Chains A and B, each alone.
Chain A
Amino acid sequence: MSLSKKMLREIKINRTQFIAIFLMAFIGIFAYSGIYAEYYGLEQTSNEFYAQTNLADGWVYNTDFDESTFDKISDFTTDVDRQAVIQSVADMENQPDITLHFIEKGTISKFYTTEGKKFNASDASGVWLDTRFAEARNLHVGDTIKLEFNNQTIKKEIKGLGYSPEYVFETSPSSLTPDFSTMGFAYLSARAYPEDIEYDTLLVKYNISDKQFREKLDDSIDYLSFTKQNDHLSVSKFADEMAQHKMIGDVFPIVFILVTFLTLLTTMTRIVSHQRTQIGILKAVGFKDKTIILHYISYGFWPVIAGAVLGLITGPMIIPQMFYPTMTVSYSMPSWNPGFDMSFVYIAISLVVLSVLVTYLSCRRISKENPANTMRPKAPDVSSKGMLERSRFWKHLNFNIRWNIRDAKSNKFRALMTIVGVMGCVALLIAAFGMNDSLEELKSWEYDDISHYESKLLLSSEANPLELYYILNETDGSFIMQQSIEIKANDEEDTVTLLATNNTDLISYTDSNMNPIEIEEGDVSISQKLADRFGLAIGDKVKWHIVGNDKWVTSKIDQIHAEPIQQGLIMSPDTLEDEGLNFTPTNILTKEKFGENYDSIKSTTTIRKMEESWDQMTSAVMMMVYVVTIVAGALAIIVLYNLGILSFTEMEREIATLKVLGFRTNVLRKLLLTQNVIFTAIGYVLGLPLGLYFMTLMMNAAGNSLYYIPSLTWGNILLTAVITFSISIGVNLMFSDKINDLNMVEALKDVD
């Protein structure tokens, strides 16, 4: 009973120390579970959404799927549904594009209704509309909408609003991020189709591998193309986004938790050591070892469990909510919930267990000694004179340096922990800043070094060739063709981008050092990232075909170029046509600002707009960078503060003695500061390469489409130093203020 009173009073008196332990446990668990909860949340929410709506395993495209193909394909699928997918224009201001899905059954890739009536595949009177489009256009359930396609118009009542698993990410013709007021999708019953319907899309569910399915598909029916779930634009875009979050989520939380583990370990060991004489007294008066150990274990238990539980609750609640609003700018899902994983709890438990274990071990070590010893303060470790101290040089060193070397030597563990703590925080800051710099670098690489055009015009599929050539001349522009292709090599396959263009000063090609290179007329060049993934070198061959065209082509690789955001092949229009494929331009690039309206131009975007959407696309990752920077800073403050309290307590008597001997406060302040600055400097120097290593780790895990070149500006290296040293010196000043208040008599009494 009295012992628990003793604990409460001690916690009260040493509250800064206990609060530091509590905060450390809290921040460690907060950051760990929060960052993971964000990533798991994306994964769990999207998986749940895909499962609820029964997202298709694959999409088979053709001009018309009749009953017999439908029957044939049923043999090796678990479910099949047919759709006619048609581009329409809504009869509204600015003529937004609406993709219509005429559904036969509605069992696969189901419409997720959030408002109005549930989707009904036999209700021909209504339309179920994209809720994001409806929001942007202020449309409500009960309104009617007029849609034009293939020279006909249908007018339907909006029966419901909601989401589709095929439109978590919606493509926007004009920018990297969607503009919901210019586009949308709608689900309708096949019966709502005004004439005889031609189903051009088969949605399939199967329980064999994608490859097996593909083989059976090839054997049994005719079709134009097939897209498996992972290659579906919406799915793959969201998967890429998750990969970006995962790369951060995999490195940072672990570092946070490691730094927390280490610091906690030191602190608990030290706290128990400071109680050495009291353990002796308790033993001398007859307390059992068990009682004493249990008493001290509660020191390690309560603050850590309190911090861990609070972190466990608030981390997943707060951190994901900082990201999800920026996510909804680009992605659409009915709900965004933080994920939870039992690993959060296990990590929290292991933090508590570790703290208790360390407390137990150091307490047991002390209580094993006989109490006659324990009641005396521990004799300092006998440190033999090192090389330095024996050298002639030693005598010439000033007192400050000599004292600090001696102190570090006799408190090796504390010195080591300070260095490791600083190192961890520096590594976190460097990795976070490096992410920032690398993203910036990527952006300037793409939009300054590679792209030299001002406007990019998207050509309409029914463009008038004469008009196009007129525009080309007027703008002094250049045609390019950008197409999705499926590529195969070395048993790997993926959907990437083909860029067909004549050599033009509007686009530069670069190598992986971002230096300009030439792609000779007639050469086929593959992007570095793709070549690395597939294990390809110059001279190797790849098989590929344009999505929507089943003619496979084999090309020899003549060149490797590096491209930050678009992986795939580059060749000239002539080379493309030599392979027997048509060069059908998709865009015009021009240095001019293009503002005219032509029927052949679907939309126009500028470099500025593309940069803006790039910023928007990377906003979640940048957010992560800020969060990590702040949490790393907070952790650094607590770690250093905590170690500061420890060393001050330990040096109190020594400092008091020096003060009694007549050292001025300023000299003593400098003494403490010197030690701190040296340790911080060592931690900083060691933390730099570690941070760079974390950075490369993250970038290697960054998904398939972005080609990062790890970079870090001198400015940020300097900024990290400024942050680290300010924290270190700031914390130190708080302690050296205590030198003034130090009561010499108090500190020196009880000396045996």
Chain B
Amino acid sequence: MSKIIEFKNVIKEYKSGDHILKAMDDVNFTIDEGEFVVILGPSGAGKSTLLNLLGGLDSVTSGQIIVNGNHVESFNDNQLTEYRAKNVGFIFQFYNLIPNLTAIENVELMKDIVDVDIDGLSVLDSVGLKNHANQFPSQLSGGEQQRVSIARAVAKQPTMLLCDEPTGALDSKTGVLILNLLQDMSNNKNTTVVIVTHNAILAEAADKVIRIKNGQIESTVVNENPKKVTDLEW
């Protein structure tokens, strides 16, 4: 398996007045192609910052982020936009769908961004929502909305899926379905999936578990025999 993501001495500081907050303090790790990675840590540890940096939503103070051999930290705004469009599929805790577009329109919206022919219906079918294609986000349950958001993310066939607490707003049963879907994406389609969560149970299903605390890496563990998400004890 080849290395696809690498963080090298990444530091991220937020300044507000005289106060400096170190959200990332010398972070180093690598992720291989197709890996199902879980990033664990308590609230405020810097998980979301890590994901935002990786996804090109925010920029580092110093250090390097290498994705597919490209130095993301050196990208300008246009290059970042291009990077997000081609490489990154985001899945947010609160789904962040466009409220005024139907499920299928939210998915097919991606046609405007990437040169991939998207069959919105078949993508929705792959997340089990074929029958809800023409409903608006407000007409769908939380789990369904999150599945639309996954469909939207995978539709453009990105290098990686970045998921920020994807089950945070869902009940556990629905959460399992979503995580199972993500694991399948990793196992069957060789998509790299990075999930940020504070739910430690998920660690047993991951190929790699990165624990983070106070903006620093506490440990990086590779699981030789990850369990199926559906086999975990919730």
Contacts and interface: CB of A to CB of B under 8 A. Distances in A.
B107 to A, nearest CB: 9
B101 A2 contact: yes
Interface string A143-174: 00000000000000000000000000000000
Contacts of A283: 57, 81, 84
Contacts of A5: 100-101, 105
Interface stretch (B28-36, B90-98, B183-191): B90-98
Contact of B86 (A282, A286, A375, A752): A286
A9 interface: yes
B100 A287 contact: no
A375 B58 contact: no
A13 interface: yes
A488 B116 CA distance: 86
Contacts of A2: 101, 105-106, 108-109, 111-112
Contacts of A387: none
Contacts of A6: 98, 100-101
Contacts of B153: 285
B93 to A, nearest CB: 9
Contact of B57 (A3, A277, A370, A750): A370
Contact of B81 (A1, A10, A278, A288): A288
B85 interface: yes
B152 interface: yes
Nearest to B162: A284
A649 B150 CA distance: 30
A284 B96 CA distance: 10
A281 interface: yes
Interface in A720-752: 750, 752
Given A6-B101, A13-B100, A278-B98, A284 B55 contact: yes
B124 to A, nearest CB: 15
Given A6-B100, A372-B58, A291 B112 contact: yes
A371 interface: yes
A558 interface: no
Given A281-B96, A284-B84, A289-B77, A370 B59 contact: yes
A286 B114 contact: yes
Contacts of B88: 286
A679 to B, nearest CB: 31
Given A3-B109, A6-B98, A6-B100, A285 B58 contact: no
Interface string B149-163: 000110010000000
B98 A281 contact: yes
A371 B57 CA distance: 5
A205 B113 CA distance: 72
Nearest to B58: A372
**Interface size class of chain B, counting residues whose CB lies under 8 Å from the partner chain:** 20 to 34
Contacts of B55: 284
B141 interface: no
Given A2-B105, A3-B112, A286 B57 contact: no
A3 B101 CA distance: 9
A286 B98 contact: no
Nearest to B108: A2
A282 B58 CA distance: 15
A287 B82 CA distance: 8
A663 B156 CA distance: 48
A750 B90 contact: no
Give the most central of A282, A283, A284: most B CB within 10 Å: A284
Given A6-B100, A278-B98, A370-B57, A285 B90 contact: yes
Contacts of B109: 2-3, 285
Nearest to A3: B112
Contact of A372 (B57, B81, B106, B113): B57
Contact of B58 (A1, A370, A750): A370
B52 interface: yes
Contacts of A284: 55, 57, 84, 90, 96
B100 A9 contact: yes
Contacts of B86: 286
A749 to B, nearest CB: 9
Contact of A286 (B59, B97, B106, B113): B113
B148 interface: no
B131 interface: no
A288 B79 CA distance: 10
A574 B135 CA distance: 98
A288 B105 contact: no
B78 interface: yes
Interface in A357-405: 370-373, 375
Contacts of B110: 285
B58 A286 contact: no
A9 B153 CA distance: 23
Nearest to A2: B109
A285 B113 contact: yes
A287 B108 contact: no
Contacts of A278: 98
A286 B156 contact: yes
Interface string A3-31: 10110011001000000000000000000
A372 B50 CA distance: 11
A294 to B, nearest CB: 11
A287 B113 contact: yes
B112 A287 contact: yes
Contacts of A10: 100
A283 to B, nearest CB: 7
A285 B101 contact: no
Interface string B49-83: 00010010111000000000000000001100110
Nearest to B104: A2
B142 to A, nearest CB: 10
Contacts of A752: 94
B105 A285 contact: no
Contacts of B152: 285
Given A2-B105, A3-B109, A284-B57, A375 B81 contact: no
Interface in A277-318: 277-278, 280-289, 291
Contacts of B81: 283, 286-289
A285 B77 CA distance: 14
Contacts of B85: 285-288
A283 B57 CA distance: 8
Contact of A285 (B59, B82, B84, B94): B84
B67 to A, nearest CB: 14
A373 B48 CA distance: 12
B112 A1 contact: yes
Nearest to A13: B100
Contacts of B59: 370
A13 B98 CA distance: 14
Contacts of B105: 2, 5
A653 B59 CA distance: 31
A287 B85 CA distance: 7
B99 to A, nearest CB: 8
B151 to A, nearest CB: 12
Nearest to A292: B81
A284 B94 CA distance: 14
Nearest to B109: A2
Interface in B157-184: none
B16 to A, nearest CB: 10
28 contacts: A2-B101, A2-B112, A3-B109, A6-B100, A6-B101, A13-B100, A278-B98, A283-B57, A284-B57, A285-B84, A285-B85, A285-B90, A285-B113, A285-B152, A286-B81, A286-B82, A286-B85, A286-B86, A286-B113, A286-B114, A287-B81, A287-B113, A288-B81, A291-B112, A370-B58, A370-B59, A371-B57, A375-B57
9 A-B pairs with the lowest CB-CB distances in the bound complex, closest first: A286-B85, A9-B100, A372-B57, A372-B52, A286-B84, A372-B58, A2-B109, A371-B57, A281-B96
Given A1-B112, A280-B96, A375-B92, 18 more contacts: A2-B106, A3-B109, A6-B100, A6-B101, A9-B101, A13-B100, A283-B57, A283-B81, A284-B90, A285-B109, A285-B153, A286-B113, A287-B112, A287-B113, A289-B81, A291-B112, A373-B58, A375-B96
